[in-house]
Amino acid sequence: MHILDTGAGPDIELTLVCVHGNPTWSYLWRNFLAQAPSNVRVIALDHLGMGYSERLDSDRVLEQRVDDLTRLVRAL
């Protein structure tokens, strides 16, 4: 899963995870990331098969996408 991340640091007070809809991608959030205050970490992802993420041989159902997102957030 491709992610854009403004980065974690000692001054971070809030983390926002930006999730695109279908058929958009993380590019949708580019200006939001660029303008985020320094104390806010912003993470924007590309779902598998979309944007800069790995291409898949089959479609993913909603439950799989929710699981993907849950695992990503826990890992970060």
| pLDDT per residue as tens digits for the range 32-60 | 899 999 999 999 999 999 999 999 999 88
Return the pLDDT at 76.
Answer: 87
Would you say 49 and 40 are in contact if contact means Cβ atoms under 8 Å apart?
no
DSSP state of 49: T
Rounded mean pLDDT, 11-28 = 91
Return the pLDDT at 39.
Answer: 96
Return the pLDDT at 8.
Answer: 87
Taking the model in full, what pTM does it have? 0.85
CA distance 44 to 37: 15
